[in-house]
Structure 1
Amino acid sequence: MSGGLAIGVDIGGTKVAAGTVDASGRILRRARRDTPERSSSPRVVEDTIVDAVEELLADAEQQGEEIVALGVGAAGFVGADRATVVFAPHLSWRDEPLRDALRARFRRTITVDNDANAAAWAESRFGAARGETHVAMITLGTGIGGALLFDGVLQRGRHGIAGEFGHMQVVPDGIRCECGNRGCWEQYASGNALVREARGLMSARSPVAEDLLERVGGDPSRLAGPLVTEAAREGDPTARELLAEVGHWLGVGLANLAAAFDPGMFVVGGGVSAAGDLLLEPARLAYRRHLPGRGYRPEAQIVAAALGPDAGLIGAADLARAEN
């Protein structure tokens, strides 16, 4: 694994976060852009990535630093070729040759991986999962991403798209998902789920949502997940209840994953994980309640990502450096 500086880019449903990362996983400089609307063309998303990376490359040149690698973590199904985004539920990518498109713009080696794979790699190398041999990473943001890392090796699957846990069905004939199916896990345990439920209460003018309505000036469309977390931390009972419900569904899904993969640790990252134990304690309770063979088998730890929302870009940079 080579040293030197690398740029990592984490492409999510709401933001493109980029950073210059050193060999110890430390972010030296950052650039951030809003993710284009879902209806935007792949070229528009590509331009957004290029704009953020060019800012960091210019900064590095000004500082006399060499960038040895560039890695991208994409919120979507990345094919086995590590070059193509086969499908992205929250973006317009369909069989998008992202690696080659970016390589043509930057004229340098570029690696592409799923954003949750990148986050799992970072947490294993620098964060909460150091020393654990069997790790399952869950990223809670606009949707739910996932990754498996066993004995230091990312488990990408035969076709490269393992870990799309957010699209496991947990409620038959449940809420319609962007992937085309119904009842997917991310419709119940993601940032979108949290905001949808809160806005539903607000739009109905429920008295239990008065505090949340006041925080957005009476306009439910202005509500975002971090505001719900903030209200919960400040004691709002409805915000706490909403987070507990998301946490419950998180725990149900983790129990299913434990049955399939038996990891030693679940690392929960992404923006929603900023709620900490307001989310994770209900998840741990639901996990224990739904775990097959409960009481007769070891339980995996459920911990918050140590690197927070930075895990994806740190991992993307470090994976690129490792493969450089």
Structure 2
Amino acid sequence: MTDARQADDLTIGVDIGGTKVAGGVVTPDGRVLARIRTETPDRSKSPAVVEDTITEVVRDLRREYGVRAVGVGAAGFVDEQRANVLFAPHLSWRREPLRDALSARLDLPVVVENDANASAWAEVRAGAGQGVGNVVVVNLGTGIGGAVVLDGRLHRGRYGLAGEFGHMTVVPGGHRCECGNRGCWEQYASGNAVTREARELVRAESPVARVLHQAVGGDTRLITGPLVSELASKGDRACVELLDEVGTWLGTGLANLAAAFDPELFIIGGGVSEAGELLLGPARSAFERNLTGRGYRPTARVVAARLGNEAGLIGAAALAREALAE
């Protein structure tokens, strides 16, 4: 093994989303030395299947590197002990004792954290939020994840559930959400919202969706958020309007979060944020238009995340390392 592979300060971060499991060996300064990504098993399968996938990813990474601990960023509600996944809208976990199960199988200390908290911590430590003490992070993916850093500390709330912004009700009686409620913010400002609206346009055979219809040959199952972003970047009017609408919903929600937390900075991450200014431009406009006390208060900056898809695993690894010192 090289010196790097023998280092005793390495940890593994694992990021679990609605569609993937990604793991990496991470140094204290946030460098990823090795990485593995695999698809999340079908959500209808038992939680044990996802646990098996996590275990395999960690074991594969440990074949080349000695590590001290494992941090897992899970897309769901994680309790204050950072041990149990209470509820995961996009997976089948319900009060799942993930920390103890993984620790027993891996024979390593394990910390379980909400995936958005993990991503936020990475951005504050090594990304767009460096040097900023009060930050709200919003991750736009399959749904919406969120996290709050107050006075330089990750704010988890009394029960570990702070930052679940995606499940704020913004349209009473609106679209059904996988969490069981209707009208959640993530139904209007997420990757799912982009694809749902694009598919509805094509199904309706709207003339404004001609380019989108041609791109998928009329098969709405082939419509994805990245496809909408690609066509929008090429100037397709319908796709530009779709991102504008989602960005407007995003900015409106940010104004509400500013009223609650008064951050200096909003960081927008997740796959949907890769649309760049096609999304962030409308979001800033809607944010400023809906901000309480606009014109008489400082306006928080709204910027894109810097660490991309690896933020979750980098943050989870950092949190695992820090937990060893507690």
Which bin holds the TM-score, normalised by the shorter protein? over 0.9
Q: 1:200, 1:51 → 2: CA distance? A: 39
Q: 1:67, 1:171 → 2: CA distance? A: 46
More displaced stretch, 155-164 vs 27-36: 27-36
Deviation at 1:218, TM superposition (A): 2.6
Deviation at 1:52, TM superposition (A): 1.8
Deviation at 1:217, TM superposition (A): 3.2
Secondary structure of 2:108's counterpart equals: coil
Secondary structure of 1:68's counterpart equals: coil
Deviation at 1:214, TM superposition (A): 2.4
Structure 1 residue aligned with 2:21? 16
What number of residue pairs does the alignment pair up? 318
Deviation at 1:213, TM superposition (A): 2.5
Equivalent residue runs for 1:166-181 within 5 Å: 166-181=166-181
Letter paired with 2:311: A
Does structure 1 retain, via aligned residues, the 8 Å contact 2:140–2:191? yes
Deviation at 1:3, TM superposition (A): 6.9
Secondary structure of 1:66's counterpart equals: coil
Structure 1 residue aligned with 2:4? none
Q: Does 1:309 align with 2:314?
A: no
Q: After superposition, what is the alpha-carbon deviation per residue over 1:107-148, rounded to whole angstroms, capped at 9, x for unaligned?
A: 110111000110110000000000111000101000001011
Q: 2:52 aligns with which of 33, 38, 47?
A: 47
Equivalent residue runs for 1:48-197 within 5 Å: 48-58=53-63, 60=64, 65-197=65-197
Q: 2:8, 2:299 → 1: CA distance? A: 37
- TM-score of the pair, normalised by structure 2: 0.95
Q: 2:12 aligns with which of 7, 22, 27?
A: 7
Structure 2 residue aligned with 1:276? 276
Q: 4+ residue stretches of structure 1 with deviation over 4 A?
A: none
Does structure 1 retain, via aligned residues, the 8 Å contact 2:74–2:114? yes
Deviation at 1:248, TM superposition (A): 0.3
Deviation at 1:89, TM superposition (A): 0.6
More displaced stretch, 184-193 vs 12-21: 12-21
Q: 1:292, 1:100 → 2: CA distance? A: 44
Does structure 2 retain, via aligned residues, the 8 Å contact 1:3–1:321? no
Q: 1:321, 1:80 → 2: CA distance? A: 18
Secondary structure of 1:176's counterpart equals: coil
Q: After superposition, what is the alpha-carbon deviation per residue over 1:209-232, rounded to whole angstroms, capped at 9, x for unaligned?
A: 222222223311122211111111
Secondary structure of 1:31's counterpart equals: strand
Secondary structure of 1:67's counterpart equals: coil
Does structure 1 retain, via aligned residues, the 8 Å contact 2:8–2:66? no
Q: 1:28, 1:130 → 2: CA distance? A: 22
Q: 2:210, 2:9 → 1: CA distance? A: 52
Q: After superposition, what is the alpha-carbon deviation per residue over 1:59-78, rounded to whole angstroms, capped at 9, x for unaligned?
A: x2xxxx32122110000000
Does structure 2 retain, via aligned residues, the 8 Å contact 1:168–1:184? yes
Q: 1:212, 1:315 → 2: CA distance? A: 36
- Aligned CA distance change for structure 1 residues 214 and 52 (closer, same or farther; 3 Å): farther
- Aligned CA distance change for structure 1 residues 207 and 3 (closer, same or farther; 3 Å): farther
Q: 1:26 aligns with which of 14, 25, 31?
A: 31
Q: Does 1:244 align with 2:263?
A: no
Q: 2:206, 2:59 → 1: CA distance? A: 47
Does structure 1 retain, via aligned residues, the 8 Å contact 2:143–2:191? yes
Deviation at 1:201, TM superposition (A): 0.9
Does structure 1 retain, via aligned residues, the 8 Å contact 2:68–2:108? no
Q: Does 1:235 align with 2:240?
A: no
Q: 1:152, 1:320 → 2: CA distance? A: 18
Q: After superposition, what is the alpha-carbon deviation per residue over 1:230-275, rounded to whole angstroms, capped at 9, x for unaligned?
A: 1111211111111111100000000000001101100010111111
- Aligned CA distance change for structure 1 residues 291 and 3 (closer, same or farther; 3 Å): farther
Q: Does 1:212 align with 2:212?
A: yes
Secondary structure of 2:90's counterpart equals: coil
Deviation at 1:8, TM superposition (A): 0.7
Q: 2:207, 2:19 → 1: CA distance? A: 30
Q: 2:48, 2:137 → 1: CA distance? A: 30
Q: 2:41, 2:214 → 1: CA distance? A: 29
Does structure 2 retain, via aligned residues, the 8 Å contact 1:240–1:278? yes
Q: Does 1:221 align with 2:221?
A: yes
